[in-house]
Chains A and B, each alone.
Chain A
Amino acid sequence: MNDRNYKGFLYLLPALLFLGIFMVYPLIDVVIYSLEEGYNFASGNFNGYGLYNFKYVLHDPFFIQALKNTSIIVIITVPLSTLIALLISLGLNSIKPFREFLQTLYFLPYVTNTLAVGLVFMILFKKTPYSDGLVNLLINSLGYSSVDFIEGPYAAKMFVMCFYTIWIVMPFKILILTSALSSVNKDYYNAARVDGTSRFRIFYKITLPMISPMIFYLIITGFIGAFKAYSDEVAIFGTNLNEAGMNTIVGYVYDMLYGDSGGYPSFAGAASIILFVIVFTITVINLLISKNKVNV
């Protein structure tokens, strides 16, 4: 028996080792960092413990901007992408020919490199001396004048950002929703049809309650994912997000850690803990709502 006990840990050893070093220890350490005031990365000295780092971050205009950008992205993309994904999945669920083909096609963006495709999006939207870009051409053809989506007004940049974010998250949501929809027993629909239920009522009274757990799952993961937005922003606007005015909270964390403005792990730690608290709170609220609303 003893031999067995020892063996179990032996098998777990590599996982425990790596998770310990790269997950558990950092988790404790980041809290310590965030409380160490005036920490100097080079010398490793600090003045004492306190909440100064949090105060600093919360008053930093770059962080405020990042928080605002992130919030806008979250508020726009999470409901919108879930809604569009729901519409697409309902569409997919109602057709037979081409269904599997389209399902596969829609999933394609999931496997692509976000930096690579982001570059294409930038080209499509960007105004250059040579050309106003394809999207502007489209806008021109509708009778409006060109907009610089990449270096122009905030709203235009935010539009591109949200558009790209939705494009990126859509495959996952469509996949989850189509499989949720197809797992609803067809007999429910047949029963409702025989009873003369209108399409809207079928959707509202049968489909929606049946897939509501999955919708809530998507909303929760959507919130978490969108709050952690970063690479997609880099893909469109480049690494200097502060200059573009498009930084996100995660971007702020990395900037504090590394690069020209870097070398402040304490500020980075404080910012990442603030992010965690926000995400955690929203997740808990979501879960509470879903407990009341979701029918199983």
Chain B
Amino acid sequence: MKVTLQNLTKVFPGRNKQVSEDVIAVNDFNFEIPDGKLIGLLGPSGCGKSTTLNMISGLEKPTSGKIFFGEEDVTDLSPELRGVGLVFQNYALYPHLTVKGNILFPLQNLKKDKKLTKEQMNEKVEYVSKLVQIDELLERKPSELSGGQQQRVAIARALVKMPKILLLDEPLSNLDARLRLQTREELRRIQKETGITTVFVTHDQEEAMSISDMIVVMNKGVMNQYGAPQEVYEDPKNLFVAKFLGTPPINIFYGSVRSGALYIGKTEVMKAPGLDDREVYVGVRPEGFIINENGPLSCDLERVEVMGRDTSIVARHNYFTGAFIRAIISSEDAPRSDLKTVSFSLKKNKTYIFDKITEERLYLEN
């Protein structure tokens, strides 16, 4: 099922005297979630991603704007009529029911012509519990399960009624690092197998990048960019998106454009055709540096960290916005670690220029 958000806005009125201003949690959202895809809503905490999810589920009413499931306008529909499955961050498994009782719960709610027989219910429970691989645990209580197992039960409960859309709120954040890696692959597999349009919320960019078909990057209630993970990574629209995606993070320098050339400090680092003179930020991905003795960007070498195939170079530069530049190069090209300075030239397609004031991306002419 395709989901369309149209000018979606959510304003929380200022609650008390200390916070008297209204909080715009979600500001004029427009995007379309294609049928059968896995979408990651990505952003720092408080960016409005959970609010967006809650509006899709119907638990929260938008202040303005519309939500469509397929061609149907569901904006005013209460959650139970929308046919969505929801997985909560803390799983919200009913502690007094067994795993089976939990999974059966949504099925037992169906009424009238949709009512299922005992056999049909058991069949469905069996199907989803096999799908998420918890068929051995059906008689246990949630408190007897590990975090990962509880997570699977929660997904099974959301899936059992074959929702049109599956929504997951920070589904992996309560798991430890190793389990998180494993579970996200699992999530991807389950989504592929069922083909249900799935939206999940996360603040972990790596998680979102690794399994999503599409990601939506949000900040302060505003949608910053929407696209396939690689596409967003390689072509960030603004400084925030560039900084938010990628580990290690992008390196940002203070720079300027003067008569068609890009400067970091007093050094020209590359040509900048088509740009007017102005102050800018220059973002360079860690993999965007090339060791070059005659390269324009000369930095003080701090240390060299060999990580097997790759080598990480930690360096300083007067016009760098943070403390240390981190460049990743092939180990074959690694400089000697006793050098005082190291010089780079920059890969054009890994270097982004952002306006200093608007922080929007500036594109070069080809």
Contacts and interface: CB of A to CB of B under 8 A. Distances in A.
Please say whether the chains A and B touch (CB closer than 8 A).
Answer: yes
Interface of A: 185, 187-188, 190-198, 201, 205-206, 209-210, 295-296
Contacts of B92: 185, 187-188, 190-191
Residue with the highest number of chain B CB atoms closer than 10 Å, among A196, A198, A201, A295: A196
30 contacts: A185-B90, A185-B92, A187-B90, A187-B92, A190-B57, A190-B59, A190-B86, A190-B88, A191-B86, A191-B157, A193-B59, A193-B79, A193-B80, A194-B57, A194-B59, A194-B79, A194-B86, A195-B105, A195-B109, A195-B161, A196-B80, A197-B106, A198-B109, A198-B111, A201-B109, A205-B94, A209-B94, A209-B96, A295-B95, A295-B96
B48 interface: no
B94 to A, nearest CB: 6
B288 to A, nearest CB: 43
Interface string B110-153: 11000000000000000000000000000000000000000000
Interface in B62-83: 78-82
B221 interface: no
A191 B109 contact: no
Contacts of B57: 190, 194
Q: How large is the interface on B (under 10, 10 to 19, 20 to 34, 35 or more residues)?
A: 20 to 34
Contacts of A296: 95-96
Contacts of A201: 108-109
B101 to A, nearest CB: 9
A184 B122 CA distance: 29
Task: Determine chain A's interface SS by DSSP, over half rule.
Answer: helix
Interface of B: 57-59, 78-82, 84-86, 88, 90, 92, 94-97, 105-106, 108-111, 157, 161
Which 10 interchain pairs have the tightest Cβ spacing?
A196-B80, A295-B96, A187-B92, A195-B106, A209-B96, A194-B86, A191-B92, A187-B88, A196-B109, A194-B79
B109 A194 contact: no
Task: Determine chain B's interface SS by DSSP, over half rule.
Answer: loop
Contact of A194 (B58, B95, B110, B111): B58
Given A191-B88, A194-B80, 10 more contacts: A188-B94, A190-B57, A190-B88, A194-B58, A194-B79, A195-B109, A196-B79, A205-B94, A209-B94, A296-B95
Contacts of B80: 193-197
B340 to A, nearest CB: 57
A194 B109 CA distance: 11
A195 B85 CA distance: 7
A296 B59 CA distance: 27
B170 to A, nearest CB: 12
A192 B59 CA distance: 11
Given A185-B90, A187-B90, A201-B109, A194 B84 contact: yes
Contacts of A198: 109, 111
A198 B115 CA distance: 14
Contacts of B108: 201
A296 B142 CA distance: 11
B133 to A, nearest CB: 21
Contacts of A210: 95-96
A185 B45 CA distance: 21
A63 to B, nearest CB: 44
Contacts of A192: 105
Residue with the highest number of chain B CB atoms closer than 10 Å, among A195, A197, A209: A195
